[in-house]
Structure 1
């Protein structure tokens, strides 16, 4: 498909990465985004080496690193008394896994990708343009987006890539399922540098990702380049509207956290504005591709809960693998089947790791005591080795 055309639905991390990956291989990419302007939403994210190695190959890693922090370790602490339970070293990420481990604002990553896409002659970005449907031509040789509320006849494309997120309309038009609410709510906030001062070192080290574990509750904190900290709390809750403007009261959040250190409760209160986000998953055996011309990637295909910190990484892997496979093949139908065949086992394993993390962080009683003993007995080297399959994975080697 090198030299051919690709329509990409959605200008999030998955869609923009796909545009860059296709353009790098000689395909012309057009990104359709329904919002009138591309808003960089969300709080923070973690980028593990399986993702950063791909960003390096797309030529954007240096700029990403300028807006990120490279933590030296991931630490798990008991939320009740703050004692450390385990520490996974990350300072050796480039030596062990071939690329850095970074934490940053989601908006900064999206901004870097957007700037690179706008500067690429092989990419066109159309904002304020909602794709209402994707129509195959009679021979199945191309696909044409229908533009909502418009008489415009969009051009035909060789391939359509749906990167329209966890609530993907494209997935449902293909007969796929609606997303499923997991029963967990993510409360997200950015603690600014001024407010972070009293909590530094003990609760908020400037060079670590810290998870505070407690029965039915965990809080993840990590530093941002300007001295602020990204905070995420995961607790059980009710489903709610699906947008970033759900504001939660600190008292409401503190009430869900029992038996945690007073200092942690004070951190929750001092932080100020928290945004509530219902965690949805997409688990389905429904196909990700249709007629050899339409394919889902990222959360549109396989949204997973954030407990393995792999949502952005899986979207980046999807985008690069898809571009690699389709630009090397003249048979898109078989290519899309191969893409799905390669990605499903990987996503299942990542989802299982996330479920394990959620269980391990929120377990209580005797099982928590066993967890603590096991973690204490394992060295940092052994803990790091547990992630070799995840962080050392090179999606382009899978394509080869």
Structure 2
């Protein structure tokens, strides 16, 4: 895979993560010759669990990959939100009812399993997979676009899809911005379920405890054989401007005074790695000439909506559908039209996800009186009210949608407790 191929493809995809593989798969399914470049020596993903809402499992079903994804993951029964201090339940979603409403399930899966699934599908469709290729710049050229690599080699195609992540090089063609530091950091763990069974852990649910400047997530993986844990907290060292922030000692202090379930889970967290949480301010333009941004290069979110990987998968599918709709009888793609159509629908939708994620993060992490008011507000929610999920889980990926509510438009100080 790491040899440099010859011949001009129809499309270059830069970035071999979930977004890049999704885009390559979507375009290869439409009959295009796709070449994908990955910076690392081999394809792979680090991390633990992912939540795939119906707007993602719908795309996997279109690709014929949903059954395999389900076999690799878990279909949880409920999503339950609890208070991190007293463990009291605040609200929940019945995920079987959610599937009935949206036509596709809510799935949790190991990140590496989803990545491997998409990689195998790309290989099956003949995507040209190239590793050890560090792209350092992008250029528009007559009739297409070019990627330039660190060793001086270049490649050209009719279009280039830049799925090159949070620190995207291609994004610099459109805007000179920097990642936004949330001052929050995540620790993760994926552990055998047998190590925690019987300690009050939900075996068939996604559970999130929300608390003062912290939250803690648990759900099963790999057919219930593993438990995924995520501990997220605000780092005082980050707020103070220190370079080494989000350290393990901060992890332990952040959850002092939290409920027994969290305290039992903390010793199981991986301590040798951490994920600092950055996003970027939304941008309205993702396309310049024949170069298009996709995934985190375009819209890196904070994790509170569990939509980062989902939006990347959806991006690829939307792009593939617009390319297909603008491919003539002779197989020639109207790339200007296809990229303009992609540009017309994705940035606004993803802007809403990024800004909603920020708002939900603020809501989750309230302390003091605001925490009590938030809890009262969430407990008042009808569990079968989908006002706040229709816009994101419904089949809206190809069309613009109206501005959705972020959460109930009730001032917290008006909620009686």
Question: Within 5 A, what are the aligned runs for 1:324-339?
Answer: 324-329=321-326, 330-339=333-342
Answer yes or no: is 1:62 the counterpart of 2:67.
Answer: yes
How far 1:311 moved relative to its partner?
0.3
| TM superposition outliers: structure 1 runs of 4+ over 6 Å | none
How many Å separate the matches in 2 of 1:135 and 1:64? 37
Cross-structure match for 2:3? none
Equivalent position to 2:366, from 349, 363, 371:
363
Unaligned ranges ≥5, structure 1: 241-245
How many Å separate the matches in 2 of 1:363 and 1:185? 17
1:253-299 deviations in whole A, cap 9, x for unaligned? 121123212442232024454631111112143631112x0000110
Cross-structure match for 2:99? 94
How many Å separate the matches in 2 of 1:179 and 1:63? 35
- CA separation of 1:158 and 1:362: change in aligned 2, threshold 3 A: same
The number of residue pairs the alignment matches comes to 381
How many Å separate the matches in 2 of 1:263 and 1:113? 35
- CA separation of 1:353 and 1:58: change in aligned 2, threshold 3 A: same
How many Å separate the matches in 2 of 1:303 and 1:353? 13
Equivalent position to 2:389, from 382, 387, 390:
387
Question: Within 5 A, what are the aligned runs for 1:261-340?
Answer: 261-271=259-269, 273=271, 275-285=273-283, 287-291=285-289, 293-329=290-326, 330-340=333-343
Question: TM-score, normalized by length of structure 2?
Answer: 0.85
Are 2:346 and 2:397, in contact at CA under 8 Å, matched by a contact in 1? no
Unaligned ranges ≥5, structure 2: 1-7, 240-244, 327-332, 402-417
Are 1:76 and 1:211, in contact at CA under 8 Å, matched by a contact in 2? yes
Question: Within 5 A, what are the aligned runs for 1:1-400?
Answer: 5-121=10-126, 123-137=127-141, 140-150=142-152, 152-154=153-155, 156-199=156-199, 202=200, 204-225=201-222, 226-237=224-235, 238=237, 249=248, 251-271=249-269, 273=271, 275-285=273-283, 287-291=285-289, 293-329=290-326, 330-382=333-385, 384-396=386-398
How many Å separate the matches in 1 of 2:112 and 2:53? 17
- CA separation of 1:207 and 1:194: change in aligned 2, threshold 3 A: closer
Give the 3-state SS of the residue equivalent to 2:215 in structure 1.
Answer: strand
| Higher deviation after alignment, 304-313 or 55-64 | 55-64
Give the 3-state SS of the residue equivalent to 1:295 in structure 2.
Answer: strand
Give the 3-state SS of the residue equivalent to 2:186 in structure 1.
Answer: strand
How far 1:86 moved relative to its partner?
1.0
How many Å separate the matches in 2 of 1:191 and 1:348? 34
1:81-101 deviations in whole A, cap 9, x for unaligned? 212111111112331101110
Are 1:105 and 1:224, in contact at CA under 8 Å, matched by a contact in 2? yes
- CA separation of 1:396 and 1:341: change in aligned 2, threshold 3 A: closer
Are 2:300 and 2:354, in contact at CA under 8 Å, matched by a contact in 1? no
Are 1:247 and 1:273, in contact at CA under 8 Å, matched by a contact in 2? no
> Cα RMSD over matched residues?
2.3
How far 1:146 moved relative to its partner?
2.2
Are 1:215 and 1:363, in contact at CA under 8 Å, matched by a contact in 2? yes
How many Å separate the matches in 2 of 1:302 and 1:30? 23
- CA separation of 1:11 and 1:65: change in aligned 2, threshold 3 A: same
Are 1:282 and 1:299, in contact at CA under 8 Å, matched by a contact in 2? no
Are 1:73 and 1:209, in contact at CA under 8 Å, matched by a contact in 2? yes
Give the 3-state SS of the residue equivalent to 1:40 in structure 2.
Answer: coil
Are 2:189 and 2:268, in contact at CA under 8 Å, matched by a contact in 1? no
1:86-124 deviations in whole A, cap 9, x for unaligned? 111111233110111001111110010001111112x11
